[in-house]
């Protein structure tokens, strides 16, 4: 909890690996001051919650990208994704106490969270792995990871039925409708208060 109210939660999920979730989280963290980040990684056997900066700052880790992007705090949650993930997320969120909000990367955390804002990334061809369909269906914002105007994507009906706001952004190249997206996020989060 913060003095102003409860921690704002922004979820960033994606259609498949490599779709640009970490890059989009970086864009958000550079803009949203006072926010932390939680990185979820699916593992086969164990659950861990890591906030040791020596580990988080290792070159090439997504957690390093978050810190360099301005995250106030970063926690790395690793889990097979079952009930132990819910407990690990509770621990990670507790470590964000005092911040305005948190950006959480990963699809599995959405099973246990009610984010203030859910963002779903998809490439322009719209391919979505079956396990990501539920995350897409909860999206308030859909990011098509392309700066090109795309008239007909292959997004599933489940993802589009909610009426999510759609932006076209090249997340890695940091081009496209970034300013419109960030303005919308700031307004949405303010509205959610």
| 53-65 CB burial, b ≥16 within 10 A, e <16 | eeebeeeebbbbb
Does the pTM exceed 0.85? yes
Residue 7, domain member (yes or no): no
Domain at 179, CATH number: 3.40.50.300
Phi-psi label, residue 121: left if phi above 0, alpha if psi -120 to 50, beta otherwise: beta
- Total count of domains within the chain: 1
- Asked, for residue 6, whether it belongs to a domain, the answer is no
Q: Are the beta carbons of 111 and 87 closer than 8 angstroms?
A: no
**Confidence label for 172 from pLDDT (cuts 50, 70 and 90):** confident
Read off the tokens for 6: 């409860």
Residue 61 has pLDDT above 90, yes or no: yes
pLDDT tens, position by position, 90-144 = 999 999 999 999 999 999 999 999 999 999 999 877 778 877 888 888 899 999 9
Q: Domain for residue 4, yes or no?
A: no
> For 30-58, how does the pLDDT look when each residue is reduced to its tens digit (9 = 90+)?
999 999 999 999 998 899 999 999 999 99
d(CA 148, CA 150): 6
CA distances from 46 to 33, 110, 127 (A): 32, 19, 30
**Domain membership of residue 174 as a residue range:** 16-192
CA distances (Å), origin 68, targets 23, 60, 62, 83, 178 = 12, 12, 10, 31, 19
At residue 148, the pLDDT reads: 66
Position 149 confidence tier, pLDDT thresholds 50, 70, 90: low
3-state SS assignment for residue 152: coil
> In the predicted model, what is the mean pLDDT of residues 150-165?
60
Q: Is the model's pLDDT at 159 over the cut of 80?
A: no
Task: Evaluate whether residue 3 is within a structural domain.
Answer: no
């Amino acid at each position: 909890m913060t003095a102003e109210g409860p921690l704002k939660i922004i979820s960033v999920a994606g259609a498949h690996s490599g779709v640009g979730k970490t890059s989009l989280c970086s864009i958000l963290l550079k803009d949203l001051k006072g926010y932390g980040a939680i990185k979820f990684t699916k593992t086969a056997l164990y659950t861990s919650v890591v906030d040791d900066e020596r580990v988080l700052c290792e070159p090439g880790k997504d957690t390093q990208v978050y810190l360099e992007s301005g995250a106030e705090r970063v926690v790395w949650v690793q889990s097979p994704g079952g009930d132990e993930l819910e407990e690990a997320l509770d621990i990670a969120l507790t470590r964000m106490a005092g911040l305005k909000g948190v950006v959480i990367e990963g699809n599995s955390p959405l099973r246990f969270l009610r984010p203030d804002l859910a963002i779903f990334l998809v490439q322009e061809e719209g391919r979505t792995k079956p396990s990501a369909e539920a995350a897409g269906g909860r999206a308030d914002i859909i990011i098509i990871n392309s700066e090109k105007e795309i008239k007909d994507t292959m997004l599933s009906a489940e993802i589009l039925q909610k009426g999510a706001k759609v932006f076209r952004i090249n997340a890695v190249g940091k081009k496209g409708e970034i300013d419109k997206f960030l303005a919308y996020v700031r307004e949405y989060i303010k509205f959610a208060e």
